[in-house]
Structure 1
Amino acid sequence: MAQPLGATIAGVLDAVARWADAGAAELLEQHWIVAGDVTDERFHTPGEPSPSVILLRAGGGFGRTVRCDTGLAALVGACDGELTASQIVAALAALLEVDAAALAAELVPQIRGLAIDGLLLPAP
């Protein structure tokens, strides 16, 4: 953990106040950006087309690590502030050939968690 933690704790409390009770529509209509200290780590088994493990790591604060699937990793990778989460989910659903509503329902709690943990930030 990065010290001191005062600013990190204040940020988490602000994020909880802002996003804990936000509805799915509000989270999906938000333009998100990835926090500057977040990295993506992937583990591949030789010969396999997809990674067996995908981790998102916060470099500062509590150093939060989140294990994610392809859908969440792709959503985070596309969060540059240009598109809403809803637009990204629709594009991902088409690419992955899955139902957009089901994908959104799966991703909304994860978006909320990443926002509360400070890995995703609302675009300015």
Structure 2
Amino acid sequence: MRDLGYLSDDGDLFGMLAQQLFRAARVIVDIGMHLQLKIPAGAGFHPGKRWTPDLGAEFLLTRTVLDPAEARDEIDRYLGWPGQAPAYKLGERLWLTARDEARQRAGHAFDLKDFHTRALELGGMGLDTLRAQLAHQD
């Protein structure tokens, strides 16, 4: 949205950045809980303990701008939908990489709005297929 000229209001920009922070934090919590990983030393958060739903909620509350009810709802969501948070981030990363590659191929002729329109018109598909389709959008 910022690349398209939106988010000039500081409050809107903060909202976007807060959501990016939230999405990164939930990847940590999702993977940590489902793999029952130990929290690494130097992380500044309960080093050596294994991730639990309570620690996940605490992490979200201390690392994002969620309120306690939202944090608990998110933990319940991850427990019922393992891998959704990391999958979302992988999709976002693929999209941004494909967009950067299209920008490099097109040079000054690259049109951000046109790229997004054409990409969205492809419809739903798996990430490998999406990557291949976006590589041939020029």
Q: Does the TM-score normalized on the shorter chain lie above 0.5?
A: no
Relative CO higher for 1 or 2, CA cutoff 8 Å, sep ≥ 6?
1
Instruction: Answer 1 or 2: which has greater helix percent.
Output: 2
Q: Normalized against structure 2, the TM-score is what?
A: 0.29
- Greater C-alpha Rg: 2
Q: Normalized against structure 1, the TM-score is what?
A: 0.31
